[in-house]
Structure 1
Amino acid sequence: MATQTKKQNVLAEKVDSEKLYGVTEALSILKELGSKKFDETVEVAMNLGVDPRHADQMVRGMVSLPGGTGKDIKVAVFAKGDNADKALAAGADKVGAEDLMEDMQAGNLDYDRVIATPDMMGVVGRLGKVLGPKGLMPNPKLGTVTPNVEQAVKDAKGGQVEFRVEKMGIIHSGIGKLSFDDAKLEENFKAFTSAIVKAKPTGAKGKYVKKVTVTSTMGPGLKIDIAEIEGA
C-alpha cells in the first residue's frame, strides 16, 4: 500500500471535499498549503447554467481586478501617428501597422492582448485566421478596438482580464498570486465573480451560477458557498 506524502496528509486534514467554504477561509487554506518554491497563481472556476453553442447564452467580457493580476501582460497595438506614440507611452510592448501584421503572420504572437484603433481594422482583419484561434482578435465589444488606445493599454497592464465561457459552461481565470495579501485577493475574487453574475445572458434559463471553485497552481480545489456571491 502506497504511503501518503507529508503534504498529502496535510491536505487530507485541511480540506473537506464536500464542504462549501467561505471565500476568506478558502483563500487562507490555499495560502497555508502554498508552495515555498514559487509564487502560485490563484484561480477561480465557475460552472454556469449556459450552453455557449447558442449565441444568446454566450458569456464574455472584461473585468478590471482592483488588486492587479501579478502577471506581466504583453500588449501589441495596431496604431499609427499620435495614437502609436500614446500607446508606446502607456507601456505597449509592440506598436505598428503593416509591419506588425507581417510580424504576426510570421508567427510572432507572444502577446496576451492585441489592441487596435478603428482605422487599423482593415489591416488587422487579414489576421483573422492567426489571431482568432488564440482569442486575440481585437473586438469593439471588449474595448480592444478603440480610438483611446492609451487607456486600453493602461487597463490591460493594470489588471484587466478577459473572460469567456468554454463549451462545457465553465469559465475560469487567474485572480492574482498567493503572495498577495488576503484583502487584495478577496477583492479580486469579488470583482471577478460579480462581473460574471452581471454578464448573465438573456438566454440563460434556470440556475445561472451552479458551482464556484477556488484553487492555486499546486493546491486543492475548494468549493465556495454560492450564497456569498451577490446575485447568484
Structure 2
Amino acid sequence: MAREGKRLKSAYAEIDRTKFYTLAEAVALIKARATAKFDETVEIALNLGVDPRYSDQMVRGVVELPHGTGKTVRVAVFAKGDKAEEAKKAGADLVGADDLFEIVNGGTMDFDRCIATPDMMGLVGRLGKVLGPRGLMPNPKLGTVTANVTEAVRAAKAGQVQFRVEKAGIVHAGIGKASFGDDQLVENIRSFVDAILKAKPAGAKGSYLKKVSLSSTMGPGLKLDASTIVV
C-alpha cells in the first residue's frame, strides 16, 4: 500500500488539480504518468446537465472510435441458420441459439458484447435479468439487434463504444490505451465527445456539457477545458 501511495504521489507531481488543461496538454500528461506494468486504459468522464430519472433526459448511444479502444472484444451472437454462419465468418467468438441461451442463463458470460438477430429476441428477452444488469442486453437502438450481423460484429471488434448516462448524470468510457499516439487519443476523444453532444436529449435544459475529466487506469485525473475538445 505504501508503494502504491508513493507511485500515485509521484504521478501527481507537477499537476495542478485546479487547472483546466487543454486536450493536448492533458493527453501528454496522462500518457507520461501511465507507468503501470500493463498498458493502461485512458478513460474519459463527462458530467452532463441531465437527470436520467426522466425519460426525456436519458443519454444513450454508440460511437465507433477512429482508432478503436485497444481492447480485445469478445462478441456473442444469438442467431441460427445462415445468420449463424455469417456471424462465425465475421469473427464472432460465440454463436448459437438455444445452446447459447443455456450457457448464458447458467451464468457464464465470457463476452463483452451481445448481438442478436430480430427473430432471436423472443429467446434473448428471457435473459433480461441476466444480461440487463451487465449492460449486455441487445438493443436495436444500439445496433445490436440486427439482421446485418456481419457489420455488427465488425463494428464491435473495431472499437465501437456504447455509452449510457448514470444516475448522477455522468458518462464514462475507455477511449484508448496509453500506448496510443497523442493524435490517436485526441481524435478518439473528440469523436466520443461529439457523439455525446449529438445525443443531447430534448429534455436537457441549461448547460449540457458541464465537466470533462481524463485519467488513466492507475493515474491521476485531470480537468479538461471543454472548449479545446469541440472543434
Give TM-score scaled by structure 1 length: 0.95
Distance, in Å, in 2 between the alignment partners of 1:197 and 1:6 is 36
For the 8 Å contact 2:47–2:171, the answer to whether it is kept is yes
Aligned to 1:27: 27
User: Is the Cα–Cα contact under 8 Å of residues 138 and 145 in structure 2 kept in the other structure?
Assistant: yes
**Matched ranges for 1:112-131 at <5 A:** 112-131=112-131
The offset of 1:12, in angstroms, is 2.7
Q: Classify 1:80/1:20 alpha carbon distance in 2 versus 1 (closer, same or farther; 3 Å).
A: same
The CA deviation at 1:123 is 0.9
Aligned CA distance change for structure 1 residues 38 and 116 (closer, same or farther; 3 Å): same
Instruction: For 1:228 and 1:196, locate their aligned partners in 2 and report how far apart those are by CA, in whole Å.
Output: 16
State the shift of 1:134 in Å. 1.1
Q: Secondary structure at the match of 1:185?
A: helix
Whether the 8 Å CA contact 2:8–2:220 is kept in 1: the answer is: no
SS at match of 1:175: strand
Residue of structure 1 equivalent to 2:13: 12
Superposition deviation, residue 11 in structure 1: 2.0
Q: When the two structures are superposed, what TM-score results if normalisation uses the length of structure 2?
A: 0.95
Q: CA deviation at 1:36?
A: 4.8
Structure 1 residue 229, shift from structure 2 partner: 3.2
The equivalent of 2:37 in structure 1 is: 37
Gaps of 5+ in 1: none
Q: Distance in 2 between matches of 1:119 and 1:24?
A: 46
What value does the CA root-mean-square deviation take over the aligned residues?
Answer: 1.5
DSSP 3-state at the match of 1:12? coil
**Equivalences for 1:161-172 in 2 at 5 Å?**
161-172=161-172
Structure 2: runs of 5 or more not aligned: none
Identity %: 63
1:2-37 C-alpha deviation (Å, 9 max, x unpaired): 9x8376245232x11111111111110111111151
Q: Distance in 1 between the 2:93 and 2:107 partners?
A: 16
